[in-house]
Amino acid sequence: MHIQARTKEHQESKTGKLQEWTAPGKQQQLYKRTLAIVILSQLFGGAGLAAGVTVGALLAQDMLGTERYAGIPAALITLGSALASFLMGRLTQRFGRRSGLAAGFLAGGIGAIGIITAAVAGSIPLLYFALFIYGAGTATNLQARYAGTDLAKPKQRATAISIAMVSTTFGAVAGPNLIGVMGNYAESIGVPRLAGPFILAAGAFTIAGLIILVLLRPDPFLVASRIAEAQAAANPSQNGKTQAGNRQGIKLGAAIMILTQIIMVAIMTMTPIHMTHHGHGLNEVGIVIGIHVGAMYLPSLFTGMLIDRIGRIKMACASGVVLLASGLLAAFGPADSMLSLITALALLGLGWNLGLISGTALIVDSTSQATRAKTQGTVDVLIALAGASGGVLSGMIVAQSSYATLALAGGLLSLLLIPVMFWSSRSSK
């Protein structure tokens, strides 16, 4: 009885706090506070993300002795992120953003430790398993973009997404440029040089998870759910319409993000290997990938405001044009030119950014609070699977043909965004 009384008292206290945050004027206050916490966590999360992007393929190539399967690390990371996205979506829907994001970041930290252990032991099976677990950290970096939208107004959503993403830039850009430093440190403690960046990833993901676990209170998703419940009670006639959501918007948002993810992952995965074949060193690889990752996230604040003002569909079309330019430059630009490679990979990152924020905003616009987190998790599963396909196929295409063929195919694939937008326009009419 005593335990039941304490449990009831705890629940009443929790309910009282949630009711306090749902009061008029408090929503925007909590919205800003949530963004601040997400920004802080993403500063570290971005650094953890960059390790797999930069040296994952090179580490696998070194351990396997062939580049044919160099796309497997990216595939395993994205498959791991697919499972993590699914689980985080369900966990968030039931327990809130705090539980989902903290679990994802901490799992990513454990995966990074496993990769270091595999490199030291020379164990390929452990490497593959650890890369799969590491994918949870990369999934959480993306899932965090939804946290800012929970309490945002409709015309703030793309901007909220962009703020969460732009904060990833600092860690994500710093990570690749610390390859040399972390490599030297790794060698000094008896760890293979290419595993060095994963030492940084292990610490960064763990810190990001602890920030979310300790600071993200009250939970923005739970507060938003309370607000939605109150609005539904006040307007019962709107309940059916709200619960149904907009299936077309969900399909369209998912299609945009899936296409941009396939193109970005495929070209990005093979760029480090393409560069080493043409005499570029690890520091130069780090510079190119660092600029690429920066272009994925840094323009977010500007592009998010554009998407809120100009519209989701128009900016998704712009994404296709930018990705096409990136593919053509990567395919036909001189392989020994750093300027050409930097420009191509920067455009690749920018095109992905436009597609991801446009698609994410469409998903949030088209879902109700009752199913939003689960839908977001499911869509991110599809995005991750698309990335895994791009990662596997990229290595095979380059092994059988060339990097130029891969880049050209990616650029042409971006043209599929045009009929998708046309279909959306016709369906709307």
Question: CA distances (Å), 49 to each of 166, 206, 215, in order?
Answer: 14, 12, 21
What pLDDT, on a 0 to 100 scale, did the predictor assign at position 356? 92
Dig out the tokens for 155 from the structure. Answer: 């015309």
Taking the C-alpha atoms of residue 208 and residue 225, their distance in angstroms, rounded to an integer, is 25
**Cα atoms found within 13 Å of the Cα of residue 407, Cβ hemisphere only:** 22
Asked whether 148 and 164 are in contact (CB, 8 A), the reply is yes
Hey, what long-range contacts does 229-237 have (CB within 8 A, 24 or more apart)?
A: 230/22
381: three-class secondary structure by DSSP: helix
Domains of the chain as residue ranges with CATH: 29-232+242-428 (1.20.1250.20)
Tokens 């092994």, located at residue: 399
What pLDDT does 249 receive? 84
The owner of tokens 């335990």 is 3
- The model's pTM: 0.77
Q: What is the pLDDT along the chain (429 residues), one digit of tens a residue?
A: 444 544 444 454 555 555 666 565 677 788 889 989 999 998 888 888 776 666 777 787 777 776 666 667 777 887 888 899 999 999 999 999 999 999 999 999 999 999 999 989 988 889 889 999 999 998 898 888 888 888 888 788 888 888 888 887 777 667 667 777 888 888 899 888 888 889 988 999 999 999 999 999 889 898 888 887 877 776 665 555 544 447 888 888 999 999 999 999 899 988 888 888 888 887 888 888 878 888 888 888 789 989 988 888 889 989 999 999 999 999 998 888 899 999 999 999 999 999 999 999 999 888 888 888 889 899 988 888 887 788 778 888 888 888 999 999 998 888 887 777 666 656 555
CB 232 within 8 A of CB 239: yes
